[in-house]
A and B are shown apart, each in its own frame.
Chain A
Amino acid sequence: MRTAADPDDLLGKAYDSRVAGRLIGHVRPYRAEAWLALFLIVATTALDLAVPYLFGLAVDIVNREEGRSYFGRTGSSALDLIAISFLVVIALRFIGRNRELFIMSRLGQKIVYDLRSSMFRHIQKVGIRYIDRRGVGSVMSRLQNDVSVIDQLFTDGLIEILSQFAILIGIIILMWVTNAKLAMLAFAVLPFMIVLMIFWRRRAIVTYRQTRITIARVNGFLAENIAGVRVIQSFTREPINRSQFREINDDNLDANISAAKLSALLFPFVTFVEALATALVLFVGGRMVLGSDAFTVGELVFFVALIGRFYEPINHLSQGYNTMQAAMAAGERIFDILDIDIEIQDKPDAVVLPRIKGHVEFDHVRFGYDDKEILHDVSLDVAPGESIAFVGETGAGKTSMINLISRFYDVWDGAIRIDGYDVRDVTQQSLRSQLGVVLQDTFLFAGTIRENIRFARPDASDEEIVEAAKAVGAHDFIMKLNGGYDAEVHERGATLSVGQRQLLSFARALIADPRIIILDEATSSVDTETELVIQAALRRLLAGRTSFIIAHRLSTIRESSRVVVMDQGRIVEVGTHDELLERRGIYYNLYTMQFRSEHAEAAD
């Protein structure tokens, strides 16, 4: 199993048949375009090689000693003809390249669109726990960076790789046809070069890995220090952190300099090998022109030009190799997302849950995450209009209970029924649209207040929105905002106070007029005035509905019709607040313990 942190550290393969196969699968809908692009690449490569060929021909035509003919003409009329051919070749190459680039890039865009869209769609369906575990940042980086790498592959890498490859083959053929003996000579230095390149690559992989590791450390340190700068300053840690950063930063510098030493070798080396080949060919070829062989100066010039072009692709292919390698790694991470099992799916014969009354039944429910069972044989019958407060320690199973009602997970055993319908037999859409859920983290979206309230029911009218806001006591503060209902809520609702955000999330839950309310009460303390407003709002939100509350406030617990005390995945006590206190059982202990400080105070 790879963890999120180390894919970068691993040596990537430049070709992974499984990943490549699936990527090609995404090309399939656009095969016609792909073939066309491929054809254009081959065609423009041929045109590209025609340029030095025509030049070599021109040299022989103008060279009196050779006096070669072109389409039966010699001298200046042949030269004119060559010039016209040349113009046609470069014009065709222009058009071909243009189409090739355009088609290939557009193909890349379409594939990128498909990938992002299907990843996003898939993520909407996978379990929330996946996102929690991976973190928003990690999932985002797959949709952003990894897909961008694939984008690069199509718009840049693939054309480069394919056309350089085509050029390489074209050059080998042309050299061979022009003069086999010289071609052998030109290739003589090749094995030597390939061995050195392989050696270089091996070193480079290690060195570059070091640069990636060290820069990740630098960035991690920076990110944390920027986020925690206030803590650093208040503990006067500046000198220590400064020297820590110097060390990390310098490690990165060292790694980069080692990488520079290595990478700077490649280009001069290839240039030198190329010159070696050129000199060899000039020397032997020159003597061949002078000797009896049927070899012309023009052919020699053509040959020398081909050598110049021959080593260029080798340089490019090395970059192409990197692109491929990156694409394979990115592809793997992309498919990693697309391959996550969707745990909760509508059954093929799922029915639409009709308008409910709010009768909820837990029938011998067993449930857990991974292999760990959290809820053991829990049963609870809740009549329409009842309000249930769950209390218990962290890990007692309260959150699991409410998650099961909205069917974020499926039970292992037993069933949950709403108005007699097993939640697994109805569509998720029809189920969730009848539940009003208020989460502990009152997440608001970037957008207006109005849009945020409307989020739960897109067809709600403006009047209904105002009504909902009034019902929870949010109307007054909304009207005081600059822009009222059209005021923009900033990232994570930063411009609103904690209390205001809670009221908005109440209004959002209320707008759909759900029969069942599920509430995970916020723990953060607010000032007392706000507290009172929230309590009043809560009362209105819950009135006449079935409700399930993970309660943290005493007032909420006291007003519930039944308190359900949970301990280690079981329901241990059920009753009203007063009943349970009188019973002096677990609830009594829990509460005298939890509110001891305040209790002691009140007892003064």
Chain B
Amino acid sequence: MASPAGGLFVRIIWRILGFLRPYRAALVVAYISLFIAVSAQLTVPILIGHVIDDGIAADDRDVILTGAFLIIGVTAVQAIFTYVRTFLFQMLAERVATDVRRRLYEHMLTLSFSFFDTSQSGQLMSRATEDVNAIRRFMMFSLRMAIYSASILIIVTVVLIREHLTLALISLAVMPILVWTSLYFSNSVRPMFARVQQQFGEMSSVMQENLAGTRVVRVFAREDDEVTKFDSSLRSLMARHMEAIRYYSFFFPFMHFISGVSLLAVLWYGGRQVLNGSISVGTLVTFNIYLTLMAMPIRQLGWIMNSVARAIASGERIFEIIDSRPLIRDSANAIELAEPRGEIRLEDVTFTYPHAPRPALRNVTVDAQPGEVIGLIGTTGSGKSSLTALVARFYDVSSGRILFDGVDIRDLKLSFLRRNVGFVMQETFLFSSTIRENIAFGNPDATMEQIERAARIARAHDFIMAMPDGYDTKLGERGISLSGGQRQRVAIARAICSDPRVLILDDATSSVDTETEYEIQQALKAAMEGRTTFVIAQRVSTLKDATEILVLEDGSVAERGTHDDLIAAGGIYSRLYELQLKNQEELAQAAD
């Protein structure tokens, strides 16, 4: 790894190893056990040689007997310590994996919306699964193998040299070739596997698109073309696989061959030494066993390097998340208010999303008193959702300020602020737990009465009671799913149950059948009672009763006032009103 980034690699490895800090003692015990086990393991060939030379060749039956017992004894020691080190390394790996996963998860919870806006959830998920797994395998395998291989290499070399220098040199001569081959192989096969992986991803996305869009494929009768497309991506996948196969089907047997050559050297040269009496038969046998022992870890060297490389790459990705600072945090002396009322004031607020070229909101001022309803209307991208996200401090304003009961929200504890600002979002996200738990999501201490009351206000009680297990019905199980309107009403109940002072309804009826829209409108009206409410809507009718309506255009307030003011002003709002109401008026006429 003599790349210019070598220093960086070392730093990442060092940080990865830092995860072991709490388990230093166990690590030390693991390594001591490893040394004892290796020493015992390497004693056995010497004992075998000893039995052959001093027992069989010297015709001494006692040596054979004690030799046999010694082998059993030494191996018992080896077995015990092998158990200890295997268990400890596995345990360390599992503990570290658990820790890293927890740290990742807990850190993710603190990161702000802007972080999640720019990251794909699939990517985040693979940090917590595949990357954590790579670290785990590194701890379990490489950490042990690296030291194990090194100690075998060193001890065997020393012992062999002490037994017979020339024979040792001859038999060890191929080892550098083996090391080089192993490293060369792992380096060159890695990009091949990466290409396989990449093509696998491409094949998967062809498949995913086809399955997700299966209706479109069928209605346009494009099945045959899809099959052709898929087959061609499969063929590329196979071709890339074959590239790697051609490679490793050469290298594995080749490395085996190389270690065979070193045995050949021992057999031929060592045999001659036995013939001319300079070494014993026992020594020859010991050499043979040692070389076999040594070849194994060397052949695994490539895999160790691969695992280290993978751990570095994974570690880098994990640290990237752990190191990203939450943009929104409590300030040092953040406070809570004893009796929040829910007055919200935006003063000359301008806001630009991170990395966005233009502001999403420009110089917006709003004054919302408890009990008032602020309506927000405007085209997609006009800044409605951005405004409400600022109120809950999912982002911080770029300039200006937002006050909650007269206090800058940046001086309030985040948990306090968000407890008091309830959201019903455009896309309803429910968790796969029971309906009861979903409603009590923001208020886990809620009693059953409170939950039921919230559900009744949200017009959800009746359909919940019709479910197989009522409030204890688990969502997402056994094909139990709620319709869009039902989900929306559970979300409304969830917001009501946490009883916030400020309620934000972000286009809460956008993806609902007209059939249920009326009910949801009623539910929302009930939910707004006694709270400061911000309502985002496309329909003028939803906003009619608002205390003040803001018509946003390109981040700025284009018009503001009550419904009647705006109609009288004859601007954008009144034009929308006319467009939308033309249909309804005709309906009304027809119906009357």
**Which of A249-257, A315-323, A367-375 contacts the other chain?**
A249-257
Complex CA–CA separation, A445 to B207 (angstroms): 12
B222 contacts which chain A residues (CB < 8 A)? 455, 458
Closest to B416 in A: A236
* Contact assessment for B94 and A253 in the assembled complex, using a CB-CB cutoff below 8 Å: yes
437-476 of chain A: CB within 8 A of chain B:
437, 439, 441, 443, 445-446, 455-458
* Contact assessment for B584 and A602 in the assembled complex, using a CB-CB cutoff below 8 Å: yes
Partner of A90 from B86, B257, B422 at Cβ < 8 Å: B257
* Contact assessment for B48 and A591 in the assembled complex, using a CB-CB cutoff below 8 Å: no
* Contact assessment for B242 and A140 in the assembled complex, using a CB-CB cutoff below 8 Å: no
* Contact assessment for B418 and A235 in the assembled complex, using a CB-CB cutoff below 8 Å: yes
* Contact assessment for B51 and A282 in the assembled complex, using a CB-CB cutoff below 8 Å: yes
Interface string of B101-115 (1 = CB under 8 A from A): 110011011100100
**Which of B1-9, B165-173, B465-473, B510-518 contacts the other chain?**
B510-518
Q: Shortest beta-carbon distance, A117 to chain B, in Å?
A: 6
Partner of A143 from B74, B205, B207, B510 at Cβ < 8 Å: B207
Complex CA–CA separation, A577 to B254 (angstroms): 82
* Contact assessment for A226 and B125 in the assembled complex, using a CB-CB cutoff below 8 Å: yes
Partner of B284 from A62, A133, A264 at Cβ < 8 Å: A62
Query: Is B246 in the interface zone, CB < 8 Å from A?
Result: yes
Q: Shortest beta-carbon distance, A276 to chain B, in Å?
A: 6
Partner of A102 from B207, B213, B227, B246 at Cβ < 8 Å: B246
Q: Shortest beta-carbon distance, B420 to chain A, in Å?
A: 10
Partner of B204 from A123, A140, A261, A300 at Cβ < 8 Å: A140
* Contact assessment for B263 and A51 in the assembled complex, using a CB-CB cutoff below 8 Å: yes
A280 contacts which chain B residues (CB < 8 A)? 68
52-76 of chain A: CB within 8 A of chain B:
54-55, 58-59, 61-65, 75-76
* Contact assessment for B271 and A234 in the assembled complex, using a CB-CB cutoff below 8 Å: no
Given contacts A90-B257, A234-B394, A595-B514, contact A257 B94 (CB under 8 A): yes
B51 contacts which chain A residues (CB < 8 A)? 282, 286
Complex CA–CA separation, A573 to B439 (angstroms): 40
* Contact assessment for B207 and A120 in the assembled complex, using a CB-CB cutoff below 8 Å: yes
Closest to A229 in B: B116
Given contacts A54-B267, A242-B106, contact A228 B591 (CB under 8 A): no
Find the residue from A59, A257, A269, A304 having the highest chain B CB count within 10 A. A59
* Contact assessment for B271 and A86 in the assembled complex, using a CB-CB cutoff below 8 Å: no
Complex CA–CA separation, A557 to B200 (angstroms): 47
* Contact assessment for A236 and B61 in the assembled complex, using a CB-CB cutoff below 8 Å: no
* Contact assessment for A528 and B576 in the assembled complex, using a CB-CB cutoff below 8 Å: yes
B585 contacts which chain A residues (CB < 8 A)? 602
Query: Is A568 in the interface zone, CB < 8 Å from B?
Result: no
* Contact assessment for B64 and A282 in the assembled complex, using a CB-CB cutoff below 8 Å: yes
**Which of B156-164, B177-185, B233-241, B453-461 contacts the other chain?**
B233-241
A499 contacts which chain B residues (CB < 8 A)? 380
Complex CA–CA separation, A261 to B84 (angstroms): 9
**Which of A6-14, A77-85, A199-207 contacts the other chain?**
A77-85
User: How many of chain B's residues touch chain A, expressed as a range?
Assistant: 35 or more
Closest to B244 in A: A105
Complex CA–CA separation, A144 to B205 (angstroms): 11
* Contact assessment for B98 and A249 in the assembled complex, using a CB-CB cutoff below 8 Å: yes
Given contacts A94-B256, A289-B56, contact A113 B588 (CB under 8 A): no
Q: Shortest beta-carbon distance, A392 to chain B, in Å?
A: 9
How many A-B pairs have beta carbons closer than 8 Å: the answer is 442
Interface string of B218-249 (1 = CB under 8 A from A): 11111101110011001101100110011011
User: How many of chain A's residues touch chain B, expressed as a range?
Assistant: 35 or more
* Contact assessment for B441 and A433 in the assembled complex, using a CB-CB cutoff below 8 Å: no
238-281 of chain B: CB within 8 A of chain A:
238, 241-242, 245-246, 248-250, 252-254, 256-257, 260-261, 263-264, 267-268, 271-272, 274-275, 281
* Contact assessment for A101 and B249 in the assembled complex, using a CB-CB cutoff below 8 Å: yes
* Contact assessment for A275 and B75 in the assembled complex, using a CB-CB cutoff below 8 Å: yes
Query: Is A136 in the interface zone, CB < 8 Å from B?
Result: yes
* Contact assessment for A439 and B260 in the assembled complex, using a CB-CB cutoff below 8 Å: no
Complex CA–CA separation, A393 to B518 (angstroms): 14
Complex CA–CA separation, A390 to B421 (angstroms): 41
* Contact assessment for A83 and B268 in the assembled complex, using a CB-CB cutoff below 8 Å: yes
* Contact assessment for A528 and B538 in the assembled complex, using a CB-CB cutoff below 8 Å: yes
* Contact assessment for A598 and B221 in the assembled complex, using a CB-CB cutoff below 8 Å: no
B98 contacts which chain A residues (CB < 8 A)? 249-250, 252-253, 256
Query: Is A198 in the interface zone, CB < 8 Å from B?
Result: no
* Contact assessment for B260 and A93 in the assembled complex, using a CB-CB cutoff below 8 Å: yes
**Which of B17-25, B341-349, B362-370, B424-432 contacts the other chain?**
B424-432
Interface string of B487-524 (1 = CB under 8 A from A): 00000001000100000000101111111011001000
* Contact assessment for B271 and A58 in the assembled complex, using a CB-CB cutoff below 8 Å: yes
Closest to B76 in A: A272
Query: Is A292 in the interface zone, CB < 8 Å from B?
Result: no
Complex CA–CA separation, A524 to B484 (angstroms): 11
* Contact assessment for B218 and A236 in the assembled complex, using a CB-CB cutoff below 8 Å: no
* Contact assessment for B59 and A222 in the assembled complex, using a CB-CB cutoff below 8 Å: no
Query: Is A1 in the interface zone, CB < 8 Å from B?
Result: no
* Contact assessment for B83 and A265 in the assembled complex, using a CB-CB cutoff below 8 Å: yes
* Contact assessment for B588 and A602 in the assembled complex, using a CB-CB cutoff below 8 Å: yes
* Contact assessment for A275 and B207 in the assembled complex, using a CB-CB cutoff below 8 Å: no
Q: Can you add 5 more A-B contacts, CB < 8 Å, to A223-B121, A523-B514? A: A224-B432, A263-B86, A279-B72, A443-B212, A499-B380
- 7 pairs across A/B with beta carbons < 8 Å? A63-B281, A90-B256, A106-B242, A236-B419, A268-B79, A290-B61, A526-B538
Closest 5 CB pairs of A and B: A275-B75, A235-B442, A97-B253, A90-B260, A101-B249
